[in-house]
């Protein structure tokens, strides 16, 4: 099988043998795939400088099985990072790498991922863009968050209401029966996430906790390393200010 000039982003890469790279890429039409880029670290490699994570690319490859051979690379644009956007981009890449199975196409999610990376490259506050992508990622996986109605009763969420979310049981009204795995969230915050209106700093902490709880079951019991790095950076910046 040969694929030519498929839109793609590199999620992760690591050295392989003397001059090659092993690459995890997210492609629009083929989902997450594994590639070996032979000779990519050689000083004379044509792809040298192109095979960077989080940059829009068009990749060509050949072969079958779990690991394909990279046959060509073209730049599809260029993102420039600033502030926390760089770390947030690595977080998004690790998230996609961890939750998506190989060779499972997610074209709509790929398009959202491209929008996310473009947004992160132009902002010093990655939170709002990340929350929307996390919401859409869960929906694309078939685990959409209950944002407008309680899970068991179907009762509508009210802006003034207080609710508890549990990743296994869903959303319910807060009646003072909070359990260890429950996350408290207000109705106004749930409805804001449903509308995509997440720029208000007042809703940020609750939405961050909500989405972290919803994503945790999909991470195989291991926290995201990039998330820890971003949190440590924010603590350091807070202490320095």
pLDDT value for 232: 53
Is residue 40 assigned to a domain? yes
Q: Looking at 38-146, which runs of residues are DSSP E strands?
A: 57-62, 67-75
Is residue 117 assigned to a domain? yes
Same domain, residue pair 176 and 235: yes
Looking up tokens 């109605």, which residue turns up? 149
Dihedral (CA of 139, 182, 94, 118) sign: positive
Give the tokens for residue 100: 């998506």
Same domain, residue pair 211 and 137: yes
Same domain, residue pair 132 and 229: yes
| Nearest to 125, CA basis, from 160, 83, 92 | 83
Boundary of a domain, candidates 75, 96, 129: 75
Same domain, residue pair 122 and 234: yes
Same domain, residue pair 200 and 149: yes
Same domain, residue pair 89 and 41: no
Same domain, residue pair 15 and 98: no
Same domain, residue pair 28 and 120: no
Q: At what angle do helices 85-99 and 127-141 cross, to 10 degrees?
A: 10
Same domain, residue pair 95 and 62: no
For residue 7, the cross-strand partners are 58
Q: Looking at the chain, which runs of residues are DSSP E strands?
A: 2-16, 20-27, 31-37, 57-62, 67-75, 162-166, 170-173, 183-186
CATH of the domain at 38: 2.40.50.140
Is residue 85 packed enough to be buried (19+ CB in 10 Å), middle (13-18) or exposed (0-12)?
Answer: buried
Same domain, residue pair 71 and 121: no
Is residue 59 assigned to a domain? yes
CA distances from 230 to 90, 125, 127, 155, 205 (A): 9, 12, 11, 37, 15
Same domain, residue pair 24 and 100: no
Boundary of a domain, candidates 18, 50, 75: 75
Is residue 134 assigned to a domain? yes
Boundary of a domain, candidates 75, 108, 133: 75
pTM of the predicted structure, to 2 decimals = 0.89
Is residue 80 assigned to a domain? no
SS3 state of residue 156: strand
The tens-digit pLDDT sequence of the chain (241 residues) is 899 999 999 999 999 988 999 999 999 999 999 999 998 888 777 777 789 999 999 999 998 888 999 999 999 888 888 778 888 999 999 999 999 999 999 999 999 999 999 999 888 789 999 999 999 999 999 999 999 999 999 999 999 999 999 999 999 999 999 998 999 999 999 999 999 999 999 999 999 999 999 999 998 878 787 765 555 545 544 444 4
Same domain, residue pair 43 and 65: yes
Is residue 175 assigned to a domain? yes
Is residue 142 assigned to a domain? yes
CATH of the domain at 99: 1.20.1440.120
- The whole-angstrom separation of Cα 233 and Cα 84 is 9
pLDDT value for 49: 78
Is residue 36 assigned to a domain? yes
Q: How many domains does the chain have?
A: 2
Could you list the residue range(s) of the whole structural domain that residue 128 is in?
Answer: 85-240
Radius of gyration (Cα) for the chain, nearest Å? Answer: 20
């Amino acid at each position: 099988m040969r694929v030519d000039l498929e839109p793609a982003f590199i999620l992760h890469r690591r050295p392989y043998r003397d001059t090659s790279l092993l690459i995890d890429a997210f492609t629009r039409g083929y989902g997450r795939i594994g590639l070996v880029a032979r000779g990519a670290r050689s000083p004379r490699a044509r792809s040298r400088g192109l095979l960077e994570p989080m940059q829009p690319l068009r990749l060509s490859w050949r072969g079958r099985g779990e690991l394909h051979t990279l046959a060509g690379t073209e730049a599809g644009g260029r993102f420039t990072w600033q502030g926390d956007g760089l770390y947030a981009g690595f977080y998004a890449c690790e998230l996609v790498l961890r939750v998506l199975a190989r060779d499972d196409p997610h074209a709509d999610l790929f398009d959202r991922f491209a929008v996310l990376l473009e947004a992160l490259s132009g902002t010093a506050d990655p939170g709002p863009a990340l929350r929307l992508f996390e919401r859409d990622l869960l929906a694309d996986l078939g685990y959409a968050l209950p944002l407008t109605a309680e899970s068991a009763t179907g009762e509508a969420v009210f802006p003034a209401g207080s609710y508890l979310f549990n990743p296994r049981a869903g959303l319910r009204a807060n009646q003072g029966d909070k359990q260890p795995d429950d996350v408290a969230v207000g109705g106004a915050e749930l409805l804001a996430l449903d509308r995509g209106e997440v720029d208000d700093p007042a809703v940020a902490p609750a939405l961050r906790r909500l989405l972290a709880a919803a994503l945790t079951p999909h991470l195989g019991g291991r926290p995201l390393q990039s998330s820890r790095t971003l949190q440590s950076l924010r603590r350091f910046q807070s202490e320095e200010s």
